[in-house]
Amino acid sequence: MKWFSIIVLPAFLALAGCNKKMPPAPASEAIEQDYPTRAQPKLQSLRLWIGPEEVTAEMALTREQEQTGLMFRTNMNENAGMIFVFPQPIRAAFWMKNTILPLSVAYIDPEGAIVEIHDLEPQNTNAVVAQSDNILYVLEMNRDWFKRHRIETGTYIRSEKGTLTDTFFRRNQAQ
């Protein structure tokens, strides 16, 4: 168990550790966490097409950006969101620590297809764990955005740069 706590648990948290979204470790395996105390500035964004809908998504690409996510934000435009990109597929688990906006979250596979959509409750620190362990992207939008726009599981997401794989993992191929 000591080996697990020292090697495996930190590695798992590093891969799955999207901000406010990983639940606290059990007391017996507690890892000191420094949670953000204020909203982060608006992040670099890109346009996404979710089926026929166009949105602007901020990109949480660094560990700090992931850990902060949409914490402490008080509003977000209707067609705005935040996308989280992981280095490899994981079983994503998001929570709402210090997040007051009601959100819906889409868990997305490596091909860019939405495989799960969940509603998240403001300030709820219970993780909403993906059923799949093949999640490479997560997109947070205002609560019920997916319902209002008739976006369902199986819908593919593309960016202004092509597929999500082209956008985040294939750098400067044509150059």
Q: Over the stretch 93-107, which tens digit does the pLDDT of each residue have?
A: 998 988 999 999 999
Residues 46 and 120: their CA atoms lie apart, in Å, by 23
- Homologous superfamily assigned to 2-20+38-168: Protein of unknown function DUF192 (2.60.120.1140)
Determine phi and psi for 123, rounding to 5 degrees.
Answer: 70, 5
Provide the β-strand partners of residue 81: 57, 141
Determine phi and psi for 112, rounding to 5 degrees.
Answer: 95, 15
CA dihedral sign of residues 44, 53, 105, 166: negative
Per-residue pLDDT reduced to its tens digit, 10-64: 444 444 444 444 444 433 333 445 777 776 778 899 999 999 999 999 999 988 8
Pairing between β-strand 157-159 and β-strand 45-50 as defined by DSSP bridges: antiparallel
Q: Does residue 76 surpass a pLDDT of 90?
A: yes
**Domain definitions of the chain by residue range:** 2-20+38-168
CA dihedral sign of residues 21, 40, 44, 140: positive
The pLDDT assigned to 33 comes to: 59
